[in-house]
């Protein structure tokens, strides 16, 4: 695997201050990533829809260090929604430590990172995905400003995804859209364990502008972090079968997306969600992230689909919230169904209406 390509060669010395702001989205996996080896190498390939309304906006202000400042230590302040956030710092410090070989310029600046999310932190919506991808894009903007030769947009996106992955695996899929594959897979051209790539084939029109209503069953902090969950896939009795199943499902979903086979999509996506949670139920120690209302919503979706012939389906992240996925032409009816029958299972009746999007935007 060629990580050398991401080590910058000629960088200008600059005494200028820089400031960059990026808005980057969350994503929802259709084939799930669960299990990895160091450093953030996935055990199977995954694919996600990039979202748009669930996003992070991050600004990084870069001020060159003085000669008296240590050039060996990373220096940064972190503000989240306007407040200093000391408890988020260790995760970001670890991230900078992992990427400094690829972004040596981070050692030469004092950085102030200011971030805000459009959704609640640790709600099961992948806040680390949008958060890490936003930082990665800000770093790439700085690298572009410091690089004498031209940097191609494809390289910028690829390296941003590579950096974001080192912060949080699923963040590698939050740079571009509308569908991104991460993890080497024989049937996806150019796919890599190092970074996400846009799904390279023409997608059938039924999957254009796909809708995702995120039903917020539980907005509290998760009891088990995804880091712990990934770790529990080591020595898991079903690990090998699961990695094999996920790679096979990626082969299948690639065809489904191209042919517009929505019934097979429903079957595969729901099976993936339940397989992910089955891994949690059968880990040692075992754990359950679904809540009673998660199951109420799943059952209501199945009932509604049987009664109406709707193509709505559900998927789950590593949390209790339910993502209800449906084609755009069903929006009006499905939103009525959510309001009438699902919102009462959400905390404070809250849900987020999202739609598939195209990825990071510079502000």
- Catalog residues that contact ligand PMV under the rule CB under 6 A: 29, 32-34, 46, 126, 128, 168-170, 226, 230, 276, 317-318
Nearer Cβ to ligand PMV (170/249): 170
Nearer Cβ to ligand PMV (276/320): 276
Residue whose pair of structure tokens reads 């023409």 in the numeric block: 202
Secondary structure class of 222 (helix, strand, coil): coil
Q: How far is the CB of 203 from ligand PMV (least distance, A)?
A: 19
Q: How far is the CB of 291 from ligand PMV (least distance, A)?
A: 16
Nearer Cβ to ligand PMV (141/170): 170
- Report yes or no: 180 and 157 within 8 Å, Cβ to Cβ: no
Nearer Cβ to ligand PMV (286/349): 286
Nearer Cβ to ligand PMV (224/335): 224
Residue whose pair of structure tokens reads 């082969």 in the numeric block: 251
- Largest interatomic CA distance in the chain: 71
Nearer Cβ to ligand PMV (253/318): 318
Q: How far is the CB of 128 from ligand PMV (least distance, A)?
A: 5
Nearer Cβ to ligand PMV (169/327): 169
- Residues with Cβ < 8 Å from 13, sequence gap 6 or more? none
Instruction: Find the helix or strand (DSSP H, E) in which 25 lies.
Output: strand 18-31
Pairing of strands 75-80, 109-117: parallel
Instruction: Find the helix or strand (DSSP H, E) in which 337 lies.
Output: helix 331-337
- Three-state SS string over 238-306 comes to CHHHHHHHHHHHHHHHHHHHHHCCHHHHHHHHHHHHHHHHHHHHCCCCCCCCCCHHHHHHHHHHHHHHH
Q: How far is the CB of 209 from ligand PMV (least distance, A)?
A: 21
Q: How far is the CB of 247 from ligand PMV (least distance, A)?
A: 13
Nearer Cβ to ligand PMV (56/141): 56
- Report yes or no: 57 and 363 within 8 Å, Cβ to Cβ: yes
Q: How far is the CB of 6 from ligand PMV (least distance, A)?
A: 20
The total number of residues written for the chain in this structure = 363
**Phi, psi for 25 (deg, rounded to 5):** -90, 165
Nearer Cβ to ligand PMV (28/78): 28
Q: How far is the CB of 233 from ligand PMV (least distance, A)?
A: 11
Secondary structure class of 249 (helix, strand, coil): helix
Q: Give the span between the Cα atoms of 35 and 243, in whole angstroms.
A: 8
Q: Give the span between the Cα atoms of 71 and 217, in whole angstroms.
A: 46
Secondary structure class of 44 (helix, strand, coil): coil
The residues facing 41 across adjacent strands are 37
Q: How far is the CB of 218 from ligand PMV (least distance, A)?
A: 15
Instruction: Find the helix or strand (DSSP H, E) in which 324 lies.
Output: strand 322-326
Q: How far is the CB of 349 from ligand PMV (least distance, A)?
A: 25
């Amino acid at each position: 695997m060629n990580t050398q390509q991401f080590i910058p060669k000629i960088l200008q010395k600059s005494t200028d201050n820089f400031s960059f702001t990026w808005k980057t989205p969350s994503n929802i996996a259709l084939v799930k990533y669960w299990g990895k080896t160091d450093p953030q190498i996935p055990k199977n390939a995954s694919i996600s829809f990039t979202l748009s309304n669930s996003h992070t906006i991050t600004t990084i202000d870069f001020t060159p260090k003085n000669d008296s400042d240590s050039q060996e230590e990373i220096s940064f302040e972190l503000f989240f929604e306007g407040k200093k956030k000391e408890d988020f710092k260790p995760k970001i410090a670890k991230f900078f430590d992992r990427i400094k070989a690829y972004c040596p310029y981070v050692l030469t600046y004092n950085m102030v990172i200011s971030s805000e999310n459009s959704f609640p932190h640790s709600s099961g919506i992948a806040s680390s995905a949008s958060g890490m991808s936003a930082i990665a894009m800000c770093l790439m903007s700085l690298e572009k400003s410091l690089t004498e030769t031209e940097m191609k947009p494809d390289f910028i996106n690829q390296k941003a995804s590579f950096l974001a992955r080192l912060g949080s695996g699923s963040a590698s899929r939050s740079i571009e859209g509308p569908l991104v594959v991460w993890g080497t897979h024989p049937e996806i051209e150019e796919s890599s364990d190092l970074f996400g790539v846009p799904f390279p084939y023409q997608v059938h029109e039924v999957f254009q502008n796909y809708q995702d209503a995120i039903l917020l069953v539980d907005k509290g902090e998760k009891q088990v972090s995804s880091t712990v969950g990934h770790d529990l896939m080591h020595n898991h009795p079903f690990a090998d079968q699961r990695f094999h199943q996920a790679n096979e499902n990626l082969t299948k979903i690639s065809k489904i997306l191209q042919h517009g086979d929505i019934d097979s999509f429903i079957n595969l996506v729901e099976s993936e969600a339940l397989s992910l949670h089955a891994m949690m139920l059968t880990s040692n120690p075992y754990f359950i992230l679904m809540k009673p209302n998660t199951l109420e919503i799943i059952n209501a979706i199945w009932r509604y689909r049987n009664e109406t012939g709707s193509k709505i389906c559900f998927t789950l992240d590593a949390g209790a919230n339910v993502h209800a996925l449906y084609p755009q032409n069903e929006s009006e009816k499905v939103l009525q169904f959510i309001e009438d029958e699902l919102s009462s299972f959400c905390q404070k009746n809250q849900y987020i209406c999202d739609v598939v999007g195209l990825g990071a935007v510079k502000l």
